[in-house]
Every structure is written in structure tokens, then in C-alpha cells.
Amino acid sequence: MADFVLTTRAPLIAGNKTPADVTRDICHSLEGRPTPLWWGSFLFAASLLLLGTLAVSYEIATGIGTWGVNRTVGWAVGITSFVFWIGIGHAGTLISAILFLLRQRWRTSVNRSAEAMTIFAVICAGIFPVIHLGRPWMAYWLFPYPNTRGSLWVNFRSPLVWDAFAISTYFTISLVFWLLGLIPDLATVRDRLRGGFRQRLASVMSLGWNGSFRTWHRYESVYLMLAGLATPLVLSVHTIVSWDFATGVIPGWHATIFPPYFVAGAIFSGVAMVLTLVIVARKTMHLEDYITLRHIDVMCKLLLLTSGIVGIAYVTEFFNALYSTNPYEEFAFLNRAFGPLGWAYAIMVSCNVLIPQLLWFRKVRRTLWIVFPISILINVGMWFERFVIIVTSLQRDFLPSSWAGYRPTPIELSMLLGSFGLFFTLFLLFCRLLPVVAMAEVKGVLHVGREPRGPDPERVMVGSSAQGRGMDAAGIREGGPE
């Protein structure tokens, strides 16, 4: 991408940091007491989580009837939030894997938190399919395991089974990927801290890492391969999620453009979420030197791109419906835009297509107090996109006799809030327990775009070596790990 050139010009990391500075700056947040700000936000997040937990417990104890769903609209907030969180997760993998393969070195300062976000988002997402079941305690039946029922397996033709496979694989691979990336940094933490819980945690999780380059050498190829696996995986996951709907017969669901449409939407919402998080982290944890305005700027451009794709998808849907000359299909989309839930559609379009157009302006991309609200609005819009796809399609399908409305209950909404509570609780704990920036990676790109050290007058070979270094300055540690 364009940023490649750009990164070779100005330094990726501001403030002439040395590796030692990096270690100090990043580990700083792990040492000492949390700030009141952290405590405040943690308590807030935790209380949301508590609310959600109560709601879920009540729902499981009483029945899905405590939701607003009905005989016509069988899925609503629950599955909407599931798709939403899965989408959020995708940005993490995108940044850590896809940008890695694309040699986007600016990713190094954000990929750790982005991957953490993936893990937590997938956790949040994974909860909804379970609690939306009529009998959540039977959720394990979705996996094929030897049993005494005949033996009865699962329906491999059902997208929900594909989901079960996709989500669990996605979670496992992302988690492994993340932990792998953490090993060297944890070794740093281990060697730096004097005792304490974090130190013990680090010494267990760093698996006895001692910086041996023979290990580094294998580590690089493993990392490369995981990145290579995670890239098609992330695409497959949201493709499969989109098939939950695309393989259905319901007008508004039964659409072939869903996979690319959903994947783009996922990255769109995910990057927006990363922006929201890093803007906060940057301020609160004083990481301005590591997460520079360029990072913000680049991610804004990603938003602009994906917003465009999503916008085109919206138009294409309508065109397809019209072109199909299938009255049920046509109605589904007219109803989507102008029917009882037209307001949701309006929110979706304005938040996902109209507002992001502001990001065409460099000035806007580099003004945090504008980017921040935009990033949040985009996620609002993306939540409503899923809501619109699911609810408006079900609400009025083939037989007018069965058309019905839908109104969420407080229980459902508490669960949605609860999922955010869970997400931020985990994220805040992560900020306190683990290095939020991939130190080893950042150290590797410190001198990108910086003047190489001056040659030593006596030694000729050093000069030549300096040249050599200068030559490959652009491509330092191609495909290297942190």
C-alpha cells in the first residue's frame, strides 16, 4: 500500500527511542499501581458485566421468552450481537496477519492490542450462540462426538455446524497466535520485574525463552505460517457467518453477495473498534510516541476503503432484488428501507456510508476528537447493519398472515451491554497484566526511517557494513517476528 513508501521516510516510532527506552516505556504500565482512571473504567465495565451476567442467568433460568423474539422473528439482538462481535474480532487478525504478510510495518505498535481485541471479541461473540439456544445446556450437541444415541452425529449441511467449527478454530488459532507473539515480550518482563504476580505469570508463559537466535529463527517461520493460515481463516469465518443467512430461503437473507459484503463489514467495524481503543490507550497510557498520528491516519484510510465496499454492497443488494424480478425479494428490500424498521436502515446507511466520507480529508484523519466519534458511530452503524439484515428480513417474509413486529426486552439489551462489559473488563485487565505493545517488534523497527549511525573513521569494513545496512534499511527484518 501507499504507506510502505511513507514508512521508509519519516520514522515509524517518534522520539528517537532506543530498545532500552522501549522496554522501559512499555513495561512502565505493568509496574506500580493502576491510575484512578483505570479503576474508574474498570469498575464501570465490571458493573456492565455484572448486569449482563444477571440478565443471562435470569434468561437461562426462565426461558428465551424473556427476549422479545417471537414465532416470526426468531433471531434478533442475540444473533445480531454475535455477528457484530465476530466482525470486531476480524480487525485484530487483519492487522496481525494480513498486514504482516503485506509487510505493513506500522502495524507493530498496534498489533498486540488488536490481537487481544480479537480474542476478547471472539469470547463475547461465542457467548451469544450459546445463550440464544432454547436449551443452552445442550450446546455441546452442536459438535460431533461419539454418543449413545445411535450414534447420532451433527448435520454437516447446517451453517450453524459450520459456525461451530469456524468459531472454535478461529478462537484457537488467534489465541495461539497471540500467545506465541507474547513469548519474547514476556521474557523481557520476566527478566525486568522483581517478583510479584506478573513476574511469575511472565516466567510461566514465556516458556523459558532466552533470546537464542536459533529459536528466533524457527520462531520466525512459525509466525509466518500462522499468519499465512490466519489470513484465509479470517476470511472463511465471516464468510461462514454470512452463510447462516445466505443459505436461508428468506428474502433478504438468500443473497450471494453476503460473503464479501460481510467480510468487508467485519474489517470495517473491527478497524473502527481498534481506532477507538488505541486512541484511548494512547492518551491514557502515554503511548503517543508509539501510536503516532500516522497510525491513526492509516487506519482511517482502511475505514474509508471498507466503508466504500460496504456502501457498494448496499446498492448491489437493491439492484439484485430489482433485477431478480422476484416480488418477495423486491418487497424485502423496500420493506428494509421504508418499512417499520426504516429508521434502523437510516442509521445504518448514515453511520456506515455517509459519515465516514469525512475521512477523505487529511485534516479530519489527523484530528483525534473527530476520528474518535466517527469510529464509535461506525460501530453503531455496523451493529444496526446486522440488526437490519436479520430482523427486517424475518419480520415480513412470504406469508403476510405471519408478519410480526419485534421489540427487544430489557433482558436482551442488558445482555448486549453485558457483552461490552465483558469485552472492556478483559481489555483493561490485559492492559495491566501484559505488555500492550509488542516490544520486540517495535525494537526491530526503531531505526526505520531514521539516520543510520555514523561510520567509525578507523574501520573501513564498518563503513561498508553501514552502507549495507543503509541499503536494507527499507526492508529491515522482512517477515521478522517481535
204 near another protein, rule: CB under 8 A:
yes
- The correct pick among 8, 14, 51, 58 for binding another protein (CB under 8 A) is 58
- Which residues in 400-429 contact another protein (CB under 8 A)? 400-405, 409-411
- The correct pick among 10, 101, 138, 354 for binding another protein (CB under 8 A) is 138
Answer for the pair 344, 275: CB distance below 8 angstroms, yes or no: no
214 near another protein, rule: CB under 8 A:
yes
Tell me the C-alpha distance between 52 and 41, whole Å. Answer: 17
- The correct pick among 84, 85, 106, 219 for binding another protein (CB under 8 A) is 219
> What is the closest distance, in whole angstroms, from the C-beta atom of residue 448 to another protein in the complex?
12
155 near another protein, rule: CB under 8 A:
yes
Task: Select 156 or 197, whichever has its Cβ closest to another protein.
Answer: 156
Task: Select 244 or 297, whichever has its Cβ closest to another protein.
Answer: 244
Of 381, 374, 386, nearest to 238 by C-alpha is: 386
Tell me the C-alpha distance between 290 and 303, whole Å. Answer: 21
Identify the burial level of 144 via C-beta atoms within 10 angstroms of its C-beta, where 0-12 means exposed, 13-18 middle and 19 or more buried. Answer: middle
Answer for the pair 374, 359: CB distance below 8 angstroms, yes or no: yes
441 near another protein, rule: CB under 8 A:
yes
Q: How far apart, in Å, are the Cα atoms of 141 and each of 93, 152, 173, 241, 242?
A: 29, 10, 22, 19, 22
Which of these ranges, 113-121, 178-186, 283-291, 359-367, lies near another protein under the rule CB under 8 A?
178-186
- Residue 271 corresponds to which cell in the numbers above? 478497524
Tell me the C-alpha distance between 437 and 462, whole Å. Answer: 32
Identify the burial level of 466 via C-beta atoms within 10 angstroms of its C-beta, where 0-12 means exposed, 13-18 middle and 19 or more buried. Answer: middle
Answer for the pair 136, 130: CB distance below 8 angstroms, yes or no: yes
- The correct pick among 46, 64, 370, 380 for binding another protein (CB under 8 A) is 64
Tell me the C-alpha distance between 381 and 388, whole Å. Answer: 10
Task: Select 2 or 471, whichever has its Cβ closest to another protein.
Answer: 471
> What is the closest distance, in whole angstroms, from the C-beta atom of residue 109 to another protein in the complex?
14
324 near another protein, rule: CB under 8 A:
no
Task: Select 220 or 364, whichever has its Cβ closest to another protein.
Answer: 220
Task: Select 123 or 476, whichever has its Cβ closest to another protein.
Answer: 476
- The correct pick among 2, 20, 32, 36 for binding another protein (CB under 8 A) is 20
* Secondary structure E strands in 259-399: none
- Which residues in 358-377 contact another protein (CB under 8 A)? none
- The correct pick among 51, 376, 462, 474 for binding another protein (CB under 8 A) is 462
Task: Select 243 or 424, whichever has its Cβ closest to another protein.
Answer: 243
Q: How many CA atoms lie within 13 A of 334 on its CB side?
A: 7
- Which residues in 251-310 contact another protein (CB under 8 A)? none
